[in-house]
Amino acid sequence: MKEKVVLAYSGGLDTTAIIPWLKEHFDYEVICCCIDCGQGNELDGLEERAKLSGASKLYIEDLVDDFCDNYIMPCVQAGAVYENKYLLGTSMARPAIAKRLVEIARKEGASAICHGATGKGNDQIRFELGIKALAPDLKIIAPWRMTDIWTMQSREDEIEYCRQHGIHLPFSADSSYSRDRNLWHISHEGLELEDPACEPNYDHLLVLGVTPEKAPEQGEYVTMAFEKGVPVSVNGEKMKVSDIIRKLNELGGKHGIGIVDIVENRVVGMKSRGVYETPGGTILMEAHQQLEELVLDRATMETKKDMGNKMAQIVYEGKWFTPLREAVQAFVESTQQYVTGEVKFKLYKGNIIKAGTVSPYSLYSESLASFTTGELYDHHDADGFITLFGLPLKVRAMKMAEIEKNQK
């Protein structure tokens, strides 16, 4: 009886070519597994394509709600943003995918899992760290790193390899952007983006929305409600998280929100340039932060910012299934108990403009913040506070003056 391998299958040329390659070089029975994290019509026709290419079975697993509730929301609540710009769209999806690949491998009694990530990118790390953490006994096959037996170097090579194995599918050899899409975002790499000196060709590139210049001349008000850090409605309509993200994607795309051009530092040591479209995610992160400003105290906000940066690094590096991520997430969840309220803002030509925030747990006191302060604040108390708060600065200045005097 042949050993089984579970292939993370997207339906694209790379992973389609891997099917006959696995059978030829390892004599595996190939079970394809496509994880739906909100790719949309990219899943059309996959079953026929996988079977024609030699797979014995195809799983199409709907992980959209799991992805939103258990991976996206912890990062939103943490305020996890990598290098101040990247909202972790691909990074958050990889552990969810790895977990389901392991579950399918266990169900099928497979001995290995194969992925099509390249040897230069971050995804190989994210997939493999997830698999190692959940199933250390499973073999991992990464064709693009096996250059002794994976000899294909281009799309033309892969198309010819498929043709030689009787697989005649309508793949094109023409160059296009390298993209990754899910419900949270779409990333773009390649073509003119490989040169940081080149401006992105947004008319050719954008999928989820338009540039701010092409957004409507009229702004649009949006109201969101949160309960314990989780969004529950948009414009008064209650929805689950995945539907809220869909709605915000529609609104954000329309108004040119969430387009980021970044040169980022990959885990493997190189810099890479990409453009990310995250219209709904950008709105959700901003609305959540807007509410936190009202309800979290200064010390918690300060520490939470550090934890958000740490969470971003953990997720970017593929270390989701670690005690550290669990500990950081536990801290973040403890801060969300009172992140409840309503946030209103205006979307206008790439901008998210505040239009009012309310919460039953607001720490903002109008009587304290106004110039006519009440009983809780006595201006004279600031004298002693500033004296003590500034004492280290004063002592150091006196000491430096003494040293300077003695040196004369």
273-321 confidence digits (pLDDT tens)? 999 999 999 999 999 999 999 999 999 999 999 999 999 999 999 999 9
* Residue whose entry in the numeric block shows the structure tokens 């010390």: 299
Sorting pLDDT into bands at 50, 70 and 90, what band is 241?
Answer: very high
Token pair in block for residue 32: 């394809």
Alpha-carbon span 46 to 155, nearest angstrom? 19
User: Quick one: average pLDDT of 368-383?
Assistant: 76
**Do residues 209 and 277 make contact, with C-beta atoms less than 8 angstroms apart?**
yes
Q: What distance in Å separates the CA atoms of residue 49 and residue 52, rounded to the nearest whole number?
A: 5
Which entry of 10, 36, 123, 325 is annotated as an active-site residue? 123
> What is the average per-residue pLDDT within 141-156?
95
| Least confident interval from 12-26, 161-175, 335-349, 351-365 | 161-175
Q: Is 374 helix (H, G, I), strand (E, B) or coil?
A: coil
Rg, C-alpha atoms of the chain: 26
pLDDT interval class at 372 (50, 70, 90): low
Cα separation, 101 vs 35, whole angstroms: 8
* Residue 21 near residue 143, CB atoms below 8 Å: yes
Sheet bearing 29-36, strands edge to edge = 57-62, 29-36, 4-8, 112-114, 139-141
**pLDDT averaged over the chain?**
95
Tens-digit pLDDT profile for residues 18-60: 999 999 999 999 999 999 999 877 677 888 899 999 999 999 9
Of 141, 125, 133, which Cα lies nearest the Cα of 266?
125
- Rounded CA gap, 297 and 113, in Å? 46
Distance of alpha carbon 79 from alpha carbon 171, whole angstroms = 40
Distances (CA, A) of 333 to 64, 159, 231, 301, 378: 22, 48, 14, 13, 36
Q: Where are the beta strands (DSSP E) in 296-339?
A: none
Looking at 56, 111, 178, 233, which residue is catalytic? Answer: 178
Give the sign of the dihedral formed by CA 63, CA 64, CA 65, CA 66.
positive
DSSP state of 2: -
What pLDDT does 320 receive?
98
Residue 14 known to be catalytic: yes
- The order of strands in the sheet holding 230-234 is 237-238, 230-234, 220-227, 341-348, 351-358
Res 41: pLDDT: 74
Cα torsion angle, 118, 322, 276, 59, sign: positive
Catalytic site includes residue 148:
no
What CATH number matches the domain at 4-164, 3.40.50.620, 3.40.1310.30, 3.20.20.120, 3.40.190.10? 3.40.50.620
Question: Does residue 383 carry a catalytic annotation?
Answer: no
Separation CA 57–CA 42 (nearest Å): 19
Q: How is residue 63 annotated by DSSP?
A: -
Q: Is 94 a catalytic residue?
A: yes
pLDDT at 370 over 70: no
CA distance 313 to 191: 28
Chain segment 157-174, per-residue pLDDT in tens: 999 999 999 998 888 877
Tell which residue, 36, 62, 69, has the closest CA to residue 244. 69
Which residues does 267 contact at the CB level (< 8 Å), separation at least 6?
A: 122, 125, 316, 317, 318
Q: Which of 49, 94, 100, 246 is catalytic?
A: 94
Nearest to 22 by CA among 108, 103, 139: 139
Question: Residue 378: what are its φ and ψ, rounded to 5°?
Answer: -110, 120
Q: Using alpha carbons, select from 335, 105, 100 the residue that is nearest to residue 228.
A: 335
| Four-way CATH pick for 178-296+339-358: 3.40.1440.60, 3.90.1150.10, 3.90.1260.10, 3.10.110.10 | 3.90.1260.10
At residue 44, the pLDDT reads: 75
d(CA 280, CA 285): 9
Give the mean model confidence (pLDDT) for residues 183-196. Answer: 97
Mean pLDDT of 376-392: 90
pLDDT in tens, 280-290: 999 999 999 99
Global pTM reads: 0.94
Asked if 252 and 209 touch (Cβ cutoff 8 Å), the reply is yes
Q: Determine the Cα–Cα distance for residues 206 and 200; give it in Å rounded to an integer.
A: 10
How confident is the model over 228-241, as a mean pLDDT?
A: 98
Token pair in block for residue 367: 């009587």
4 Cβ contact partners less than 8 Å away, ≥ 6 residues apart: 28, 29, 30, 31, 105, 108, 109, 110, 111, 112
pLDDT exceeds cutoff 70 at 389: yes
Tell me if 127 sits within 8 A of 102, measured CB to CB: no
Q: Say which amino acid occupies 26.
A: F
pLDDT in tens, 108-146: 999 999 999 999 999 999 999 999 999 999 999 999 999
- Taking the C-alpha atoms of residue 87 and residue 349, their distance in angstroms, rounded to an integer, is 20
What does the DSSP 8-state code read for residue 213?
G
